[in-house]
Structure formats: C-alpha cells, structure tokens
Structure 1
Amino acid sequence: MTSKLHPTALMPFSNGKPPHLPCGPGDLAEDVLIPGDPDRVELLASMLDNVISFGRKREFAVITGTYKGHPLSICSSGIGGPSTEIALVELSMLGAKRVIRIGGMSALVPQIQTGSFLVVQNAIGMTGVGDLYGEKGSQSFSDTELSKALIQSANKHGMTSFAGTVATTDSYYLGQDRPVSLKENFSNAASKYLDRFREQGALGVDMESHVILSVSKRLGLKAACLLGVHGNRATNDWLVDYESTQRNLLCIAGSALTFTLKSET
C-alpha cells in the first residue's frame, strides 16, 4: 500500500497533497468551478465570501469560499487537455463531486454574438486526452441536471445564452484554422477544421470541454460546461475586454449549483 506520507513515482502525493494542485485534504468544496486561466481565479475571488487562497503551482490556482452561502471552490485548469486531466483527477481525489467549466470559446455561427454564453449539451472532440478516457472520435455529454440549471440561471439573470454542441481541439492555431507558416509539403496545410466542426453541428470551438466531460464521466463526477463567447469566427468579432463576461460566468454557474441543491431537498 502506498504511504500517504511518502511520495512514490506511482502516486507522488506528499502528506495527502497531490503533486500539482496547491491544496490538500479538506481544502475543497464538493462543487468546483474550473476556468482555464489562473489569473481569473484571483478575479473571481472578489465575488466570494470567506475566501481561502491555497496559492498557485504552475497553471493551477485554487481558492475555496462561499457564494451566496454555498461552499464553492475555484480551480484553474490551464490550457488544453493534459493540464485539464491533471486538475480533474486530483480534484476528484480531494473530494470534488460536481464540476462546471467556466471558460471561453469562439462561436462558429454569426447569430451567437460575443459576450453571450453557450451551455454545452455535448462536446465533440479532436483531443488526445478525451480519446484516452472515451472512444476515439466519440461525443461527451453534460450532466442533464446541471445543464438545465445553467440555462435556468442564465435566464433568471437576463443573460443571452444558447444551448448546443461545442467542438474541442488540442490546437489553438492549425486546429482552429489560424494562420501558421508551414512547409509546402505539410499534408494538412489546407485543412478546414472549423468547417468540419460546423458540419457536425458545433456552435463553437474551445480547448477543454470535451476533456472535462469525458474525464469526469470516467471519474464519476457530475460535470457541465458554461462558455462565454470571446470571439466569433464567422464574423471575425473579438471581445477585447471580457472581465464582465468572466464575472457573469460565476453568477450563472454559482446560482445553477444552488438551484440543483434545492431540487434535491
């Protein structure tokens, strides 16, 4: 049996603390919001009460507090699948039960404007980690109760939201059709990934949602994703100042978690 006091290569925990997240046993609430950027954790801390900050290690910043009386932790995932998997696995080991990704995306259709929100019902993926935890090319689905609560909460707050499919890719540049200087003999240079995503019904593209949902399912976590629209690839609009969008993500998700708790009692 692995000792909790002495880390090993198999499970490099030290005194119950994981190797990546800057927190340990008893530090987390059962409900965790997961933004990508660690700087957003500090931004959102001002919206919680009774905040305890556990600091930051690499791309992982963690705080725990209360939102309108409800215990809540916020943990950043970093960018993309590998760091997101690390966050989810270690959060699960430390007692998390429900997670909601609160991040950004680019819309793929003109009617979804910057500053609005997408409640992810399902995610399609072009991600290595998602394939490890699911089946290659498979869809992953949000927890029905959580996604319904997110829609209800957005409506209650008077915020424009949509519900549907997001496409997740490991690539910010080539995989999202951004300009990259490539050698002429590179076979994928002319690929139109965003068109492929649209053909599969995706309303937006991000880098974490498919991983959040695929990994959470395997870990037994209830999971959902709420995405703020930072850009629109159909209109080429870009949201320069998205602080208010980030704060609204917490308002919507925090309220949604309290809705689900009330429905369980």
Structure 2
Amino acid sequence: MATPHNEAATGEIAKTVLMPGDPLRAKFLAMTYLEDAKQFNNVRNMFGYTGSYKGKEVSIMGSGMGMPSIGIYSHELYSQYGVENIIRIGTCGSFKKHVHLRDIIIVQGCCTDSNFAYQFELPGVYSAISDYGLLEKAVALAKEKNVNYHVGNILSSDIFYHADKNSPEKWASMGCLGVEMESYALFATAAYLNKRALTLLTVSDSLVSKEETTPEEREKSFTAMMEIALEIA
C-alpha cells in the first residue's frame, strides 16, 4: 500500500502519529521513548517509526518544512493509512514579550499568508483550528507537569526570510503568539478529511528579545512538549 512518499505497508502505522518537522527529531523520539520501535519509512529520508508508549501503539514521522510538505504527508496518512490523529510537535518563533524561549504554545488556531485553502474553493477565508478534545488533554497535562505554556493563535507562514521587516509586529498586533510554517495545512487537511489534529510548539527563538536555541537543542532537548504529545496519543 505504498504511496509516492511513504513505503509503509498496511497496518504498520498507528492511529495516532506524532509529527516533528525534522526527521532526525522523529528518529530521536522513537529511539528515546518507544518500545520495540520499527522503522516503516525511509523514502526521501523522511523517517517514520511505530512502537509502543506505556502500552499504546504510537507512530512518529517527520513532516518536512512548510505547508506543501506537511500537506502531502498528512493527507497520505489520513487518507491511505487510516490515521485518525496527527499531533505536530514543532518549534516556533515568539512574537510576544511574555512568550519566552522554551515555553510551549498549544495551538488553538492559525492565521496564514498561504493560499493552501484555495483548493477547497470556499467563498471566503477559512479559519484553521485544532481539535478541541486533543487541545483540552494537552492543557490538562501541561498544568499537571507545571510547564510554562500558552494557548492561542499563531501564524503559519510560507515565508521564512520575509521582505517586510514589520510583518511580525503586524501579526502580533492581531494577537498571534508566534510563527511557524506547517499547522494551517495540517488543520485544514484534517478538517477536509474529517480527522483530528493538534500542534504543540516549543519556542526556539524570540523575534522580540532575539534570543535563540541551537540546532542540537531543537532536535533533542524539547522533551516536555514531546512527553505531553506522547501522553495524549
């Protein structure tokens, strides 16, 4: 039952998939947290693994960077492999002074500068939101673990190096907590296919204070977000 981007056979992927952008983070997560992890995908080095966490079957797979990439992988997982839940576990830049490095953002909804929703031929602007059931569980676990977290809106952008240097301030003025590049496409795809999705983001850099984390930290140290996602899987 392989797709153009996934060589997994039927039954090799769990009903819930955790999706970091970086396939190396997917590998780190699988090797660190899953028992009996088995690799199901190596196409384009977009690693995917299935194993068990506290007795539950869970899959972890990279999504790549940007909405086109996560749009491909999430669509195939939902439509071809019977996946019901995708939880994106990623990083973001903070737009707000009170949203600090290593804080967690539990994404309620997304704004975007992408035309991803154009394909649905809707007579207006689509608001992409997460699944409330998954969001509610994530908030409860964040409280239980006593981590610094925020719930709210973010920007999913197609542009990393933006020509408009005032873009962050404009989105921040509308309440956006931070910026990443994938969640709008994930939420829209889930809604279109009648599935469930959530995004958890760890703040890797601040567009306010100009602080940032290292690539190694982003790959291996954002464990609080990872553990929340595994608990609600």
Q: Same fold (TM over 0.5)?
A: yes
Report which structure shows greater RCO (CA 8 Å, sep ≥6).
2
- Aligned match of 1:224: 198
- Aligned match of 2:224: 248
2:98 is matched by which residue type in structure 1? Answer: Q
Partners of 2:118 and 2:208 in 1: how far apart?
28
- Whether 2:208 is the aligned partner of 1:234: answer yes
Indicate which of 62, 66, 84 corresponds to 1:80: 66
Moved more, 21-30 or 112-121: 21-30
The superposition leaves residues 231-253 of structure 1 with CA deviations (integer Å, 9 ceiling, x where unpaired) of 110111102223221x3222011
- Aligned match of 2:19: 34
Q: 1:59, CA displacement in angstroms?
A: 5.1
Q: 1:41, CA displacement in angstroms?
A: 1.0
2:224 is matched by which residue type in structure 1? Answer: N
Question: Is the alpha carbon distance of 1:201 and 1:252 closer, same or farther for their aligned partners in structure 2, counting shifts above 3 Å?
Answer: same
Counting only pairs closer than 5 Å after superposition, residues 146-157 of structure 1 correspond to structure 2 as 146-157=134-145
- Conserved 8 A contact 2:6-2:41: no
Indicate which of 115, 120, 123 corresponds to 2:102: 115
Q: 1:123, CA displacement in angstroms?
A: 0.6
- Whether 2:189 is the aligned partner of 1:215: answer yes
- Aligned match of 1:54: 40
Question: 5+ unaligned residues in a row in structure 2: which ranges?
Answer: none
SS of equivalent residue, structure 2 residue 47: strand
1:205 is matched by which residue type in structure 2? Answer: V
TM-score by length of 2: 0.92
Q: 1:219, CA displacement in angstroms?
A: 1.2
Aligned residues: 227
The superposition leaves residues 198-234 of structure 1 with CA deviations (integer Å, 9 ceiling, x where unpaired) of 1221000000011111111101111111001101101
Indicate which of 128, 134, 145 corresponds to 2:115: 128
Counting only pairs closer than 5 Å after superposition, residues 162-201 of structure 1 correspond to structure 2 as 162-174=150-162, 189-190=163-164, 192-201=166-175
Partners of 2:94 and 2:111 in 1: how far apart?
15
Question: 5+ unaligned residues in a row in structure 1: which ranges?
Answer: 1-15, 175-188, 258-265
Partners of 2:181 and 2:45 in 1: how far apart?
15
Partners of 1:97 and 1:234 in 2: how far apart?
37
Question: Is the alpha carbon distance of 1:42 and 1:190 closer, same or farther for their aligned partners in structure 2, counting shifts above 3 Å?
Answer: closer
- Aligned match of 1:24: 9
- Conserved 8 A contact 1:59-1:76: no
- Aligned match of 2:177: 203
Question: Is the alpha carbon distance of 1:133 and 1:224 closer, same or farther for their aligned partners in structure 2, counting shifts above 3 Å?
Answer: farther
- Conserved 8 A contact 1:32-1:100: yes
The superposition leaves residues 110-140 of structure 1 with CA deviations (integer Å, 9 ceiling, x where unpaired) of 1111111000011111123244347564321
- Conserved 8 A contact 2:36-2:51: yes
Question: Which protein has the larger Cα radius of gyration, Structure 1 or Structure 2?
Answer: 1
SS of equivalent residue, structure 1 residue 236: coil
Partners of 1:44 and 1:74 in 2: how far apart?
8
- Conserved 8 A contact 1:125-1:137: no
